[in-house]
Amino acid sequence: MTNRRHYAVPLHEAAAESPTLARLTQLARESGDRLKAIQSVIPAPLRASIRPGPIDGTSWCLLVDNSAAAAKLRQLLPALQAKLNSSGFQVTAIRLKLGSHQK
């Protein structure tokens, strides 16, 4: 048994050493990029209630703080998807998931 010391490793170093973590980091970055791409379509008062969520193939999830914001976003889904596709993201579906805003 070896005596291994535990030490903090910056995320970018850990990601470089782990293909799985590197892929998760890439997906998280892309999810954030997708949210940035659609900001202009989302009404300003709703923007603080929305966070980027997981990407699953060509499906993307938005995390929404409350049902009122989710109801408004549902109306905007076709415009959001069109904006994403015109921005170079291949998205065939956007899912909404309700959850509390974590700071």
Domains of the chain, by residue range, sit at 11-98
More confident residue, 25 or 63: 63
Pick the CATH number of 11-98 from 2.40.30.30, 3.30.300.180, 3.30.1360.70, 3.30.420.40: 3.30.300.180
Convert the pLDDT of each residue in 5-58 to its tens digit: 677 878 677 767 787 887 888 889 999 999 999 999 999 999 999 999 999 999
Which amino acid, 42?
A: I
Please state whether the predicted TM-score (pTM) of the whole model is above 0.95.
no
Residues ≥6 apart with Cβ < 8 Å to 33: 89
pLDDT of residue 4: 56
pLDDT of residue 5: 67
Whether residue 58 contacts residue 92, with contact meaning beta carbons closer than 8 Å, is answered with yes
pLDDT of residue 55: 95
What's the chain's length in residues?
Answer: 103
